[in-house]
Amino acid sequence: MILSALKETNENETRVSVTPESVKLFLRLGFEVIIEKGAGELSGYQDSNYTDFGGKIVSRSQCLNADVCLCVRIPSSEDIKNLRNNSTLIGILNPYENKSEFENLNSKKISSCCMELIPRISRAQSMDVLSSQANLAGYRSVIDAAEQFGKAFPMMMTAAGRVNPAKVMILGVGVAGLQAIATAKRLGAVVSATDVRAATKEQVESLGGKFIMVEDEESKNAETEGGYAKEMSDEYKMKQAALIAETVAKQDIIICTALIPGKKAPILITEEMVSSMIPGSVVIDLAVEAGGNCPISKSNEIINHNGVKVVGYSNVPGRVAKDASALYAKNIFNFLSLLINKENKQINFDFEDEIIKSVVLTHNGEVKLEQFN
């Protein structure tokens, strides 16, 4: 069987689905590995790096005709038309926003595997692309904040006087939020964090952060079975907003990370809250691609709001493209290892398996996931 890696055409996408080091892993599964010319350039990989590990450099049309086609983002409608019938497409396919593309995939009997739907169970941890990419996003968000902030992070004692530590607040304590806490602490900042899930308190405090939240009956059941935050009631949101407003004005840096799968990101920091911050402060909105946790943020722009910088970089993992690609490729390898029949080296979709059942949206002309029917 032939496995291909497409060159990404989506604006601002710098990652690649196969790295040179991962080529040997896919070869081990029994695939012939082909890479679109120039696919790895934005991640720091040259075509020769792939051939050194046994990959072949080919045209886009050849990649689209492979048995298994790997990507980061869903290909264009035109590319989907050129995909091979009955083939397999694996990537972060965003089924919530690409309904027409999935109709086209289904009509060609293509098995589409949405890596962002990997369930949060222990057996699937090595395949969890959201976690691997969010880790890097959380790290990079602090680096981006430090770049925009005109002061140092750690406290410094000098002969000329003392430099006070930066005060950083993290809104949303998922994988990205926890990594942001850890990174900010390593840089010497005083860190606080808030989340609707009471279970995250211990995690925040274990990293040296101060936990802030509205504790009531609703907060005791604020987590989904998959470990994500639920959408809270309007009453809770009002309480939360009041608490955040009181704290935000005292912060130098706010990093927003709150996302709800399949829904618009919740507004956590309002325009009034940003206006209360000291000029020179920074807001990083990691949720900008999902509408943003701050109404001021705009995708791929830095907005100066009364002296406060509101940063809305999209695809933040792509700002650490080499590491993001390496982790993503390993996630896909681990998922494909589950699909491959060890005896005949063919792909076998076992829909009794919880992981496969959760990830495969279209297969053999059927929509397999009811929520997208």
Query: What CATH code is carried by the domain that includes residue 35?
Result: 3.40.50.720
Tokens of 178: 């926890």
CA 356 → CA 47, 239, 349, distances in Å?
32, 40, 7
Identify whether residues 301 and 327 lie together within a single domain: no
CA 350 to chain centre: 27
Compute the distance between CA of residue 51 and CA of residue 289 in angstroms, rounded to an integer: 35
Tokens 């029994």 correspond to 30
Same domain? 162 vs 113:
no
Q: Render each residue's pLDDT in the chain as its tens digit; 373 residues.
A: 999 999 999 989 999 999 999 999 999 999 999 999 999 999 999 999 999 999 999 999 999 999 999 999 999 999 999 999 999 999 999 998 888 899 999 999 999 999 999 999 999 999 999 999 999 999 999 999 999 999 999 999 999 999 999 999 999 999 999 999 999 999 999 999 998 888 889 999 999 999 988 766 565 565 555 555 666 677 777 777 788 888 999 999 999 999 887 789 988 899 999 999 999 999 999 999 999 999 999 999 999 999 999 999 999 999 999 999 999 999 999 999 999 988 888 999 999 999 999 999 999 999 998 888 7
What is the predicted pLDDT for the residue at 221? 60
Where b means 16+ CB within 10 Å and e means fewer, 218-250 reads ebeebbeeeebbeebeeebbebbbeebeebbee
Residues 44 and 180 placed together within one structural domain of the fold: no
Q: What local confidence, expressed as pLDDT, does residue 169 receive?
A: 97
Number of domains observed in the structure of the chain: 2
Q: Domain of 223?
A: 133-314
- The per-residue pLDDT for 165 is 96
**pLDDT value of position 196:** 80
The H or E element spanning position 89 is strand 88-92
pLDDT of residue 34: 98
Count of residues making up the chain: 373
pLDDT at 97: 87
Does some domain include residue 126?
no
**Cα separation of 134 and 327, whole Å?**
11
The verdict on 66 and 39 lying in the same domain is yes
Catalytic residues, by residue number, are 120, 125, 128, 131, 228
CA triple 229-318-20, angle to 5 deg? 120
Taking a C-beta distance cutoff of 8 angstroms, is the pair 294, 245 a contact? no
Which burial class, exposed, middle or buried, applies to 329 when counting CB atoms under 10 A from its CB (0-12, 13-18, 19+)? buried
104 and 149 part of one domain: no
Give the C-alpha separation, 283 to 306, whole Å.
Answer: 12
